[in-house]
Amino acid sequence: MDRLARGEKIRAQKKARQEVLNYMNLLKNLDKYGEDGKITEKSILKLHENITHYTLEYAYLEGHYRTEPVYVVNKEGEVVYTPPPDNAVPGEMQNFIEWINGDSKELNPVMAAGIIHYEFVRIHPFVDGNGRTARALAALFLYLRNFDIDRLFTLDEYYDNDRQDYYDALNSIDLEEQDLTEWLEYFLEGFLISVSEIKNQVLLFSPKIKERIRLSGKHMKIVEYIHLNGQITNSEVQKLLNISRQGAYKDLRSLMDKGILEKKGGSRSTYYVLKSEK
């Protein structure tokens, strides 16, 4: 995802690449989807339209409820869930949206986000893109409840680590008894892991910058090394990351461009330190 954000070309199917770009753009503009702090039908239709842009077989499906039956199948092609009929979708969504803006406020925001994710997938209001929209909706809800983590928070990486666990957790719910315990345990665990990773990867470097910068794993290693040793050289980066001199310089240059590092010393004694406040 970071490489796509920098505009680099990577090997990926066109659809998969577009899905990532759509989600990144959505996270950057979460503030545009809420209406006076509320989630409305318009909010949800717009979420779906933007997150499925250029990824659906037919463009007219973007941002429109389904008008046909759909079935959820597993990788073997077996039907594992049949959502409500299409004529029930508008009414189910209306009740769902009323709950989001009403009774959900009595719950812990993270717990409510987990319920929102499940209920959206249960209704399955669109022909395609329901999972992506459910995750985007949960992110929007948390943003509106001040759990945005500077809009870097997303459970997508947690889900993608083991898609089968994700589907198993969703399928663990007895539709008659509506016991969400196992699903919510899975969702809350993912929230904790994702927030912990952000805490480890995001550094606040300067009150003057007034922004947080998310670093890749290798860049975090460089910064941690400097924290422990006060400075780092190109050759030390090569050993630390097992990369070439040119690769080390590229990573150091990237950190300097972000305003995190600055170069010190002469041509033969160059080293890098964390950029100081001025």
d(CA 129, CA 114): 18
pLDDT in tens, 207-248: 434 455 667 778 878 887 887 778 899 999 999 999 999 999
**Mean pLDDT of the chain, nearest integer:** 83
Q: Is residue 209 part of a domain?
A: no
Provide the 10 A C-beta neighbour count for residue 90.
12
pLDDT in tens, 20-35: 788 878 888 888 999 9
Domain containing residue 161: 2-204
Q: Which of 204, 235, 265 is the last residue of a domain?
A: 204
Provide the residue type at 147 as one letter. Answer: F
DSSP conformation class of 23: H
Structure tokens at 81: 């869930």
Q: Which of 204, 232, 248 is the last residue of a domain?
A: 204
Give the model's pLDDT for residue 93.
98
CATH of the domain at 231: 1.10.10.10
Q: Is residue 266 part of a domain?
A: yes
CATH of the domain at 59: 1.10.3290.10
Contact 243, 237 (CB under 8 A): yes
Give the model's pLDDT for residue 224.
77
Give the model's pLDDT for residue 63.
94
Q: Could you give the percent of the chain with pLDDT greater than 90?
A: 44
Q: Is residue 198 part of a domain?
A: yes
Provide the residue type at 185 as one letter. Answer: E
Give the model's pLDDT for residue 197.
62
Task: Mark whether 62 and 136 lie in a shared domain.
Answer: yes
Query: Which of 97-106, 155-164, 196-205 has the lowest average pLDDT?
Result: 196-205
pLDDT in tens, 92-135: 999 999 999 999 999 999 999 999 999 999 999 999 999 899 98
Task: Mark whether 196 and 221 lie in a shared domain.
Answer: no
Residue 154 Cα distances to 122, 142, 147, 151, angstroms: 20, 10, 11, 8
Query: Which of 2-16, 67-81, 157-171 has the lowest average pLDDT?
Result: 2-16
Task: Mark whether 106 and 157 lie in a shared domain.
Answer: yes
Q: Residue 191: is its pLDDT beyond 90?
A: no
Q: Average pLDDT in the 70-78 region?
A: 84
Q: Is residue 210 part of a domain?
A: no
Give the model's pLDDT for residue 8.
45
Task: Mark whether 82 and 127 lie in a shared domain.
Answer: yes
Task: Mark whether 75 and 35 lie in a shared domain.
Answer: yes
Whether the full predicted model's pTM is greater than 0.85, yes or no, is: no
User: What's the total number of domains in the chain?
Assistant: 2
d(CA 216, CA 245): 19
Provide the residue type at 2 as one letter. Answer: D
Provide the residue type at 193 as one letter. Answer: I
